[in-house]
């Protein structure tokens, strides 16, 4: 089977707008996404990260600087669309990577209060 470019989604929440909490939560999320999907960093094409408007203490992508092998992975951060009533203090991640897995085999990761975003995909 040939490899295809696939996306794996993930999301988590933090309790406050704090640099260390944002970085730790993001690193935990990304690590789980990589582990659950057997992703090799070299196969990653890009990573897209967003945070809700109530989080401004740091860029979530900063956590990747401390993770082995991530130096040359292109990463972009942005602010999430502000929809009234949406989940607060939320960090979302989309990893685009090359894999031979079918779409239905991709394991999306939702942690903390973000499990409410996609209970059908959340592994709890």
Catalytic option among 9, 63, 90, 97: 9
Query: Does 62 participate in catalysis according to the annotation?
Result: no
Query: Which of 42, 65, 88, 105 is labelled catalytic?
Result: 65
Domain membership of residue 11 (yes or no) is yes
Q: How high is the pLDDT of residue 98? A: 98
Least confident of 4-18, 57-71, 74-88, 108-122: 108-122
Q: Catalytic: which of 6, 63, 80, 90?
A: 80
Flag whether 58 is in a domain: yes
Q: What is the tens place of the pLDDT at every residue in 32-71?
A: 999 999 999 999 999 999 999 999 999 999 999 989 999 9
- Distance of alpha carbon 98 from alpha carbon 6, whole angstroms: 6
Q: Is 98 contained in some domain?
A: yes
**CATH code of the domain in which 26 resides:** 3.30.1330.40
Instruction: Check residues 124 and 38 and name the one with the higher pLDDT.
Output: 38
pLDDT band at 121 (very low <50, low <70, confident <90, very high): confident
Residue 121 host element (H or E)? none
Judged on CB neighbours under 10 Å (0-12, 13-18, 19+), 36 is middle
Residue 124 lies in a domain: no
Question: Is there a domain that residue 84 lies in?
Answer: yes
The pLDDT of residue 122: 59
| Active-site entry in 77, 97, 101, 105 | 77
State mean pLDDT over 88-117. Answer: 96
Tell me whether residue 77 is one of the annotated catalytic residues. Answer: yes
Q: How many domains does the chain have?
A: 1
Does 112 fall in a domain? yes
Q: What is the mean pLDDT of the chain?
A: 95
Q: Give the CA angle between residues 119, 124, 29 to the nearest 5°.
A: 90
| Amino acid 1: pLDDT | 60
Range of the domain at 91: 4-116
Looking at the domain assignment, is residue 39 inside a domain?
A: yes
In a domain, 76, yes or no: yes
Q: Average pLDDT, stretch 85-89?
A: 96
Residue 123 pLDDT exceeds 90:
no
């Amino acid at each position: 089977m040939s490899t295809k470019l696939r996306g794996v989604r993930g999301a988590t929440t933090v309790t406050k707008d704090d640099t260390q909490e944002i970085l730790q939560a993001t690193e935990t999320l990304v690590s789980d996404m990589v582990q659950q999907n057997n992703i090799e960093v070299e196969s990653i094409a890009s990573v897209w990260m967003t945070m809700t408007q109530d989080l401004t203490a740091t860029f979530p992508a900063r956590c990747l600087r401390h993770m082995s092998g991530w130096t040359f992975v292109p990463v972009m951060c942005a602010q999430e669309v502000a929809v009234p009533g949406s989940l607060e203090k939320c960090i979302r991640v989309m990893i685009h990577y090359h894999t031979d897995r079918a779409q239905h085999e991709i394991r999306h990761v939702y942690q903390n209060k973000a499990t409410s975003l996609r209970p059908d995909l959340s592994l709890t």
